[in-house]
Amino acid sequence: MSPTIDEIIDALSEPGSFGFQETVDLAVHEPGRLPDLIELAAQRLRRSSNAVNAVLALVPDEELGHIADASVAALRSGADPGDGQAARLIALLSLQAPRTLRPHLETLWDLAPNVRSYYSEWPWRGAGSGPEIDRLRSRLAVEDPETRLRAWTCLMESRTSDGWGAAIDAIGSIPHDDTWAIERFFSVGVELRQEGIRSLINEPPHHVLFQDGFLRPFRWVGIDGHIESPTWTTTGEVAGRGRFGGSIDSPCKVCGRPLCRLLTIDEGPSSIPGPTEFVTCLSCLVWSEGILYFAHGGGGISPAGPEVVPREPEWPADPFPEVPVTVVRSAPRWHCQDWGLSNSGENLNRLGGEPTWIQNPYFPTCPDCGERMPFTMQLDSLEIDGTPGWLWGSGGILYAFWCSRDSISATLCQWT
């Protein structure tokens, strides 16, 4: 007989992975009961459970409003706004369904869940324009500098022109200098310039899908079955096709080995400016050089950027195996993803949209024109089946940037 929701929550309250198997079984056999499990977890789990966090991804969009309501209700009745399950659900919903938090923004302002986390102001991604922005704007005038800063950050997170306008006007009134404020704007994908703002991202985001069996799915140790994030499946509209892996004829300027192909886009998506062929040197990036630049054009790809001292790589690496990939339009629920909140289970191989930063946002400058280079593509650590895995340092992500004017790409990594 399958356990009751209460019994699963009792198990999940224990330390370790008690209750994970029952949660996976429920997700596989009775997914319709997941909303009940999550709502009860919001009330009862004093520490958030990775199992509950993962199964939220399987709940249909139309049920998420109830989960937002239940999480806010749990916080109102005293759930821990720091580490509790309700607070974590608010963080996850601020990415997957910020609209569900819009009716609760005033309550969330007062209850301040996740206040010590980098994602504490993310619910204001759902602020929209109008009264929510006006309320934040009025808080920019209060005496307490921390309140002003919090309101300012919420305005920036709103990603609305009204919110950004108010935040830009108030830069002088927050308890930080202008450089700090300018860098904060990179975290929402824009560059603040004398003449206004310039976007450093291209919408809409897409996911890169590999063929079945190429990557090892993430599993919890000792648990049968796994929870597959919808970001790994072709639920979205197919927007393009391409290939992953292999190498090209051009040599790396550091080690002289053939450059490795990351991704070749054979078809679309035309909305995301970028090269048709993304390359880097797997032997030198991270280990010898922090950023590698490439010039695309004249029928080939060649190294670009500052002079380097040629040297042997410490860890020579072979190119990735070659496989076909599909590029799909990301479902709106997965337009913004966060590395820390992705639970190791989401597909973070993306084209366009906002980058999934691991460290502070960083957009390199083009070696030719000196302008910030917009983000175009990222590849997560790759657990390629039959290999030890490729980690971009250690649990890292590779990011690619593109200057359309000069046809120059840049690759760099962040890791933990």
Least separation in angstroms between residue 366's CB and Zn ion is: 3
Least separation in angstroms between residue 403's CB and Zn ion is: 3
Give the Å distances, CA to CA, from 89 to 14, 65, 268: 19, 12, 35
Query: Whose CA is closest to 53, among 10, 8, 23, 14?
Result: 23
Helix, strand, coil % over all residues of the chain, rounded to 5? 35, 20, 45
Q: Is 158 in the site for Zn ion (CB under 5 A)?
A: no
Q: Is 281 in the site for Zn ion (CB under 5 A)?
A: yes
Least separation in angstroms between residue 205's CB and Zn ion is: 23
Residue closer to Zn ion (CB basis): 149 or 403: 403
Binding mask 117-136 for Zn ion (x = CB under 5 A): --------------------
Burial of 111 (0-12, 13-18, 19+ CB in 10 A): middle
Give the Å distances, CA to CA, from 396 to 12, 161, 303, 384: 29, 32, 23, 15
Least separation in angstroms between residue 353's CB and Zn ion is: 22
Binding mask 308-347 for Zn ion (x = CB under 5 A): ----------------------------------------
b (16+ CB within 10 A) / e for 99-110? bbbbebbeebbe
Least separation in angstroms between residue 360's CB and Zn ion is: 23
What CA–CA distance (Å, rounded) separates 335 from 95?
8
Least separation in angstroms between residue 70's CB and Zn ion is: 49
Residue closer to Zn ion (CB basis): 215 or 259: 259
Least separation in angstroms between residue 306's CB and Zn ion is: 14
What CA–CA distance (Å, rounded) separates 243 from 262?
8
Q: Is 97 in the site for Zn ion (CB under 5 A)?
A: no
Residues in region 341-380 near Zn ion by CB under 5 A: 366, 368-369
Backbone angles phi and psi of 42, in degrees to 5: -60, -40
Residue closer to Zn ion (CB basis): 252 or 351: 252
SS3 285: strand
| Amino acid letter for position 311 | R
What CA–CA distance (Å, rounded) separates 292 from 250?
14
Report the 10 Å Cβ neighbour count for 4.
12
Backbone angles phi and psi of 376, in degrees to 5: -130, -30
Count residues near Zn ion (CB under 5 A). 12
What CA–CA distance (Å, rounded) separates 57 from 70?
17
Binding mask 241-280 for Zn ion (x = CB under 5 A): -----------x-xx-------------------------
b (16+ CB within 10 A) / e for 145-162? eeebbbbbbbbbbbbbeb
Least separation in angstroms between residue 382's CB and Zn ion is: 19
Q: What is the DSSP letter of 245?
A: -
Residue closer to Zn ion (CB basis): 56 or 284: 284
Phi-psi region of 10 (alpha: psi -120 to 50; beta: other; left: phi over 0): alpha
The residue from 57, 64, 72, 284 that contacts Zn ion (CB under 5 A) is 284
Residue closer to Zn ion (CB basis): 57 or 286: 286
The residue with tokens 């139309």 is: 62
- Choose the stretch contacting Zn ion; rule: CB under 5 A; options: 199-207, 217-225, 261-269, 396-404: 396-404
Least separation in angstroms between residue 189's CB and Zn ion is: 18
Residue closer to Zn ion (CB basis): 64 or 403: 403
Least separation in angstroms between residue 291's CB and Zn ion is: 13
- Choose the stretch contacting Zn ion; rule: CB under 5 A; options: 43-51, 106-114, 130-138, 284-292: 284-292
Least separation in angstroms between residue 405's CB and Zn ion is: 5
Residue closer to Zn ion (CB basis): 403 or 412: 403
User: In the beta sheet, which residues pair with residue 410?
Assistant: 293, 401
Q: Is 410 in the site for Zn ion (CB under 5 A)?
A: no
Q: Is 403 in the site for Zn ion (CB under 5 A)?
A: yes
The residue from 23, 379, 406, 412 that contacts Zn ion (CB under 5 A) is 406
- Please state the three-class secondary structure of 91-136 as a single string: HHHHHHCHHHHHHHHHHHHHHCCCCCCCCCCHHHHHCCCCHHHHHH
* Residues lying near Zn ion in the complex (CB under 5 A): 252, 254-255, 281, 283-284, 366, 368-369, 403, 405-406
